[in-house]
Amino acid sequence: MNFWDDKRVIVTGGAGFLGSYVVEKLKARGCRNIFIPRAEEYDLTKEQNVLRLYQGFSADIVIHLAAVVGGIGANRENPGKYFYDNLVMGAMLMEYARQFEVDKFVAIGTICSYPKYTPVPFKEENLWDGYPEETNAPYGLAKKMLLVQSQAYRKQYGFNSIFLLPLNLYGPRDNFVPANSHVIPALIKKFVGAVEIGENEVVCWGTGKPTRGFLYVGDAAEGIILAAERYNKSEPVNLGSDLEISIKDLAKLIAGLTGFQGEIIWDITKPDGQPRRRLDINKAEKEFGFRASMDFLKGLKMTIEWYRENRKFLERINYNH
């Protein structure tokens, strides 16, 4: 009677950071028919490739994790690309899932969709109360259109799709490429590198005053799986933890964990991004029994350890690209 035993599942982005954890959890639950469209073979911003995907693999469930994404710097440099690629990829994947009578579509949004000055903690009903933070608004709005599409398709076609809003993710196997990494891997890379070459100062972006919450990637994967199993409504649901920490305190914490004892310099010419982020996480627990379990300090230590063990390999890949 296992939910996943007979399910055929497409996981877009299944070879990526979050996707690799989702696929591992699916396999652990007994799912044997998983298809991961690789970017080299399936550019999902092209309609013919989306059509070919559904023609080639008859899916019961689609978990759409694929995204063109990055940190503040990457968002500032690629607003058009991040808007277009995420918008058309999501829209076509859901439309063809409907046409091919897929039983369920799990859409993954982003916390960047919330208004810049959302009251803390962020509640799902606040999602439309204002414009997102400017540096990542094109990405956030493109992903939010999946929610509009999900609700419209349920109303008109009875199509079963759900929309989840995960908090900033971190963990082993994260993206450590400086051009488009997020804050935790970016800080880990800076401090580990500074310790190795004996630098006595590290420069970080912004003022350090904004706050962020973080969700361990394994917890996020568990939340997505539970929602796929148990949640069948189009109202958005936050996936996160109740953590809120300032970027300044986060930098100090990572500095300590990596052994950096020098000075942290804040480059206030760089943008801060959204002033505060903390999620209301009650709905996920109520609707499908999800609550994050990873201790933040333990998760950070695991991430730093993984980076140190894989650093040379990662740098070689980045250099070759």
Greatest extent of the chain over all pairs of C-alpha atoms, in Å: 62
Instruction: Quick: pLDDT tens for 228-249.
Output: 999 999 999 999 998 999 999 9
Pick the catalytic residue from 139, 170, 216, 231: 139
Instruction: Look at the alpha carbons of 106, 111, 115, 117 in this order and tell me if their dihedral is positive or negative.
Output: positive
Instruction: Quick: pLDDT tens for 269-278.
Output: 998 888 889 9
Looking at domain 8-314, which CATH architecture does it have?
3-Layer(aba) Sandwich (3.40)
Mean pLDDT rounded to a whole number for the chain: 94
Instruction: Quick: pLDDT tens for 188-217.
Output: 999 999 999 999 999 999 999 999 999 999
Distance (Å, whole) CA 44 – CA 289? 32
CA 302 to chain centre: 19
What angle (nearest 5°) sits at the alpha carbon of residue 248, between those of residues 243 and 252?
90
Instruction: Quick: pLDDT tens for 38-69.
Output: 999 999 999 999 999 999 999 999 999 999 87
At residue 320 the predicted structure's pLDDT band, cuts being 50, 70 and 90, is very low
| Segments making up each domain of the chain, as ranges | 8-314
Distance (Å, whole) CA 137 – CA 2? 40
The token pair at 154 is 């349920």
The token pair at 97 is 């899932």
pLDDT score of 178: 79
pLDDT score of 249: 98
Q: Is 79 exposed, middle or buried (0-12, 13-18, 19+ CB in 10 A)?
A: middle
At residue 34 the predicted structure's pLDDT band, cuts being 50, 70 and 90, is very high
Confirm whether 114 is a catalytic residue. Answer: no
At residue 1 the predicted structure's pLDDT band, cuts being 50, 70 and 90, is low
Please tell me whether residue 46 adopts helix, strand or coil conformation. coil
Please, are residues 236 and 109 in contact by the beta-carbon 8 Å criterion? yes
Sole residue written with tokens 């208004």 = 115
What residues are paired with 168 via a beta bridge?
214
Instruction: Quick: pLDDT tens for 110-140.
Output: 999 999 999 999 999 999 999 998 888 999 9
Mean per-residue pLDDT, 279-296 = 97
The answer to whether the predicted template modeling score (pTM) of the entire model surpasses 0.85 is yes
